[in-house]
Structure 1
């Protein structure tokens, strides 16, 4: 008999800056207690960066659109997908030393075991990032 997988955690938040904190708290609280010491900080930072980017770059009408988050374990990783209604394709930037923004995906790239941008079937874009919870070595 196959092992039944866990149901992914799923949230929707308004495309508003106050949602960044709410999303970070929701994701952190859904992580199993045993994994919080290893993944909690990195998962919180990933959530903050991806939700902030979705609000800033993927939502056309702030407060009228929703940002969607899905968190699930698979293949030794916790995967976080943050989706917005935008059609743009997030990409790594090369900000100048004086720039006050443009480093979000650089942080995602350095923290995540893997990440990708995927179009959504109906409309919008998802950024998916995974953190390993397997013991190395």
Structure 2
């Protein structure tokens, strides 16, 4: 469903059906989990995306017109940006529904949670894009690693294994039955990694902690 456009944004399309709202939340959760976003930001983003997708699904357009979603991190500004595009005309506005009304509060919630939000013409097509940004100071850039032979890896470094950076806790050597040296890395999570001593691995010297790990943004 999702299409990655580099490490800083993901786009995907949703069918015009009720299941698309929980699917959008699941995709968002997976993306933000990989970006190290704080739990409070994650929860606000899920609420905002749910409302934006719900509004887009209510637009009166042919059923074959899909809803587009873009999730991006703006590293320099410390912002998370959500975009939801539909093929409908018009411009959504914040309403103030009465106490007896059950709907109409979606954009009111977005306005309350977002750092800023807006509507613009859909790029390269008919319709519009509703976007919202959240302050997310714990968003970090993808760490830069370097490639070394497995025999050069040391405890305290981070190694790229199974699609994630993992802390190296222990390093030991073993001999293969057929001859040659194996390196066994004990990792902070997941099984140990056993590779040939000469196999190249991507490592970095330290981790980039999230705001929660740094002890920031936590109520006293």
TM-score where L is the length of structure 2: 0.56
Q: Which of 104, 107, 113 is the matching residue for 2:106? A: 104
Secondary structure of the corresponding residue to residue 12 of structure 1 = strand
- Higher percent of residues as helix: 1
Which sits farther off after the overlay, 105-114 or 36-45?
Answer: 36-45
- The whole-number CA distance in structure 1 between the counterparts of 2:114 and 2:41 is 11
**Structure 2: tracts of 5 or more residues without a match:** 1-5, 139-215
- Does the CA contact (< 8 Å) of 1:28 and 1:43 recur in 2? no
* Structure 1 partner of 2:30: 29
Q: Give the structure, 1 or 2, with the largest relative contact order (CA under 8 Å, sep 6 or more).
A: 1
CA drift of 1:105 comes to 0.1
- The whole-number CA distance in structure 1 between the counterparts of 2:33 and 2:78 is 14
* Structure 1 partner of 2:46: 44
CA drift of 1:36 comes to 4.2
- The whole-number CA distance in structure 1 between the counterparts of 2:95 and 2:37 is 31
- Does the CA contact (< 8 Å) of 1:15 and 1:65 recur in 2? yes
Residue-by-residue CA offset, 1:103-136 (whole Å, 9 max, x unaligned): 0000000000000011113211100000101279
**Structure 1: tracts of 5 or more residues without a match:** none
Which entry has the higher C-alpha Rg, 1 or 2? 2
How many residues are aligned here? 131
- Higher percent of residues as strand: 2
- The whole-number CA distance in structure 1 between the counterparts of 2:37 and 2:8 is 17
